[in-house]
A and B are shown apart, each in its own frame.
Chain A
Amino acid sequence: MTRIQSLDSSLSFEKRWVATDMTSPIKAKPRSLGEIFTTFSMLAIQGFGGVFAFIERELVEKKKWMTREEFVEEWSIARTMPGPSALNLCIMVGASHFGWRGALVSLAGMLFLPTLIILTLAVAYAHFGNQSQVVGALRGMGAVAAGMIVATGFKLLSALKVNPLGFKVCAALAVLSFFGIALLHWRLVYVLVVLGGIGYVLAFLKLKDPT
């Protein structure tokens, strides 16, 4: 009797532990393809001036499908591979949960509503594009969008705290990349190959083979 009771209590302890773990703020999962589609649709139609800032806020801060560190790791692949990096990232997220169906659905979510909106805007722009209010509004939105992207980059910098390369190396690579692209207008491919290559080699030397 006591053994059963203790077994029972240990079971319920197990259950409770699992339950708290499931609801913990650390990690969640998309429940269905439909949730993937609506999530990406919603963030795509908000994403003025590039969807990037919205992907980070939605997937990391709100839905918690991934931690900021995981986001940065996935982002290094999405950004390096050919193709639009925001879409690349969404394909990777969709695929990691639901395979090729997830990849297709996330792509469809990212593109369907924006296509309808953009074509509507194109027709409207043909009529009103020359008005100074429209030009001014676009400039204002452009400035805000630029700020959103920079801010998202700042947030992601915090993920570098746990980077095995260490603070100094990370800072040197980041500062060099920024000056090269923003002020010296180096081509992105060269920055990726040269500075990214240095980062890769340093990381490779620092990490150990899995045992």
Chain B
Amino acid sequence: MSEPMTLLMLWTDWFNLFKHFASISIASVGGSLVLLPEIHHFLVAQQAWLTDGQFSASVVIAQASPGPNVMFVALMGWNIGLNAGGYGWAGFSAVLCMIAILLPSSILLFMTARWVQNNSQRRSVRAFKVGLSPVVISMMIAAGWLLATANTESVRDWPLWILAAVATLIVWRTKVHMLLLLAIGAVLGASGLLTAL
């Protein structure tokens, strides 16, 4: 991660950090990545708890490692803790941020899910599920599309496009293990084959 910084975090700062993630938790409709501009504004621009390099590295690493995308929040917390004094604080801060971002939305979801389960025969509930399905499925395909095009600024990146298209076909039509495909993608990328001349 790029140049570290030293930071003095008071307990009010930790509280504000918690409060920030907890307050945007409910706003994360449409996936946690939509929160990035908001988080960048608070952590980097306003409070200067993270450097720009640490911020973007957190997102990149979270995208590249297994698990839900929201893990980037844990990494940002980790880096703030590192800035504030070392691995102990980093661990504390990572857990603090994850609890903050997950607690409000999870409680709301849990209560909603229970209500939905008990009222699954209601016309409004069934209409919600079937009425939104075409839209949410399409959103997923669009998300994959955006991910495929995010790395490819120009036509020169056509090998990445082909790789994404082939992966789509294989996962859609066969039962080939997806980890194998990811490994092949990593090897192709590391060997430099995906960079067109």
Per the bound structure, the CA–CA distance linking A170 and B16 in Å amounts to 44
| Number of chain A interface residues as a range | 35 or more
Which applies to chain B's interface (DSSP): helix, strand, loop or mixed? helix
Knowing A117-B65, A139-B160, A149-B140, the reply to whether A173 touches B25 (Cβ < 8 A) is: no
Within 8 Å of chain A (Cβ to Cβ): is B196? no
Knowing A76-B132, A87-B70, A115-B71, the reply to whether A150 touches B144 (Cβ < 8 A) is: yes
Per the bound structure, the CA–CA distance linking A211 and B11 in Å amounts to 58
Knowing A144-B163, A173-B134, A200-B132, the reply to whether A129 touches B57 (Cβ < 8 A) is: yes
CB distance from B67 to the nearest CB of A (A): 3
Inside 8 A of B127's CB, which chain A residues have their CB?
200-201, 203-204, 206-207
Per the bound structure, the CA–CA distance linking A171 and B59 in Å amounts to 34
Knowing A118-B74, A132-B192, A138-B189, the reply to whether A144 touches B66 (Cβ < 8 A) is: no
Per the bound structure, the CA–CA distance linking A107 and B74 in Å amounts to 15
Inside 8 A of A114's CB, which chain B residues have their CB?
65-68, 71
Per the bound structure, the CA–CA distance linking A83 and B136 in Å amounts to 15
CB distance from B193 to the nearest CB of A (A): 8
For the complex with contacts A115-B67, A178-B142, A178-B145, 12 further pairs of A-B residues with Cβ separation under 8 Å are: A46-B66, A91-B106, A91-B109, A111-B98, A121-B65, A125-B61, A136-B191, A164-B130, A174-B137, A175-B138, A196-B135, A199-B132
Interface residues of B (CB under 8 A from A): 1, 25-32, 34, 57-58, 60-71, 74-75, 78-79, 94, 98, 102, 104-106, 108-110, 112-114, 116-117, 121-124, 126-148, 150-151, 160-161, 163-172, 175, 178-179, 181-182, 184-192, 194-195
Q: List 22 A-B contacts (CB under 8 A).
A: A47-B67, A77-B128, A82-B26, A83-B108, A86-B69, A95-B114, A107-B102, A111-B68, A125-B57, A133-B192, A139-B194, A148-B144, A148-B168, A153-B141, A160-B137, A163-B133, A165-B134, A182-B141, A192-B135, A201-B127, A207-B123, A207-B130
